[in-house]
Amino acid sequence: METRFIQFLVAVILCIGVTQSAKGPRADIFNIQDIGQFRDIAKSPNGVVGNALPLNSRFKWKSRDAYGNYQIPYVIAGPFNRDEYQMIINAMVRIQANTCIRFIRRTKERDFINIESVDGEGCFAYVGNHGGRSSMNLESSSKASCMFHDIVIHELLHSVGLWHEHMRHDRDNYIKVHYENINRAMSPQFIKIPQSQGETYGTKYDYSSVMHYDKSAFAKKKGLLTMETLDKNAQGLIGKAKDASYSDYKKVCAMYGCKSCYGSPIRTEAKESEKKSKETE
C-alpha cells in the first residue's frame, strides 16, 4: 500500500565527477559512490517503491488549467545566477512540450515545489506532490553543482512523479544487479518492486532513460560493476542520458492521462482502427 513516507524523498547525491560547471564540479547523481556525502536516498519503511506513481496515487498533482493540463506551481528560491535560472526554466519547457504538465509560478497555491540551492545538500527532489512545500535542491556551490540539463530534468521528473528505471519489477529481464559489488547500506536502492505496487504504463525497459543510474552506482569501490545490462550493447548507455527519453515522457503522459503527448494528440488503437476503416471505404 502506498504510504506518505514512500513518496517522502528521493535524494540523489553526490559523487564528484570531473566535468566543471561555472561554480563547483558536477555532482554526478547517476554514478553515486561516495555514500558519506548522502543526505537522503529513495526509501520506504516497507520496501515498496514504484517506477511511476499509480493512476490513483494521492501524490499526483491534481490542479488543472482551462485546457485540462496539470499544473505544478513552483518557486525558484535559489540562489541561482541568470544562466542557472534559465536552465531550470528550459527544462520545465522541455517537459511541458512533451506532456500535459504545466509549471506555473506560485502565487497563493498551497501545494508547490520550492527549488533552491543549499550548500552541502546536493541534488534531490520529492517524488510527486508531497503536500504544501515539496523541496527540490539543486546545489550550485564551490564544492558541487547540480546545474546541468540532465540533472535538472531528472529532478523535475521526480517532482512530476517518476522514480528510477532500475527499480522496475521487470528489470531482471534487462539488467543483472551485482549485489556483491554494492555497498551494503545502499542495497535498498536496488529493490525490485512487484507489478502490483509500481506502474510502468506499458513502457519497455529503457536503458536510455534519464531516470536510470550508471553501471557503477553505489559500488563498494570505484570501478566495480553494480548493474550489468543483459544486452551487451547497452552497457554504455545506462546513466549516460543527456535528456529525458521517449518512454520517460510516455509514462508521465499515461500517469496523468494526457490527451496530447510529444506535442501531438494521442490516438488510441480504437481511433486508429476507425480512421483506417474510413480510409478504405
Question: From the annotation, which residues make up the binding site for Zn(2+)?
Answer: 154, 158, 164
Binding-site annotation: residue ranges: 154, 158, 164
Q: What is the dihedral of CA 210, 185, 7, 87, to 10 degrees?
A: -40
User: Which residues neighbour 204 within 8 Å (Cβ) at sequence distance 6 or greater?
Assistant: 247
Q: Please, are residues 160 and 252 in contact by the beta-carbon 8 Å criterion?
A: yes
Q: And the C-alpha cell for 249?
A: 515522457
- Joined together, the cell numbers standing for residue 14 give 553526490
- What are the backbone angles phi and psi of residue 170, rounded to the nearest 5°? -100, 15
Q: Which of 160, 146, 148 is nearest to 118 (CA)?
A: 146
281 carries an active-site annotation = no
Asked if 35 contacts 185 with a C-beta cutoff of 8 angstroms, the reply is: yes
- In the DSSP assignment, the letter for residue 158 is H
Among candidate residues 84, 139, 155, 199, the one labeled active-site is: 155
Q: ∠ at Cα 97 (118, 145), nearest 5°?
A: 20
- Active-site residue numbers? 155
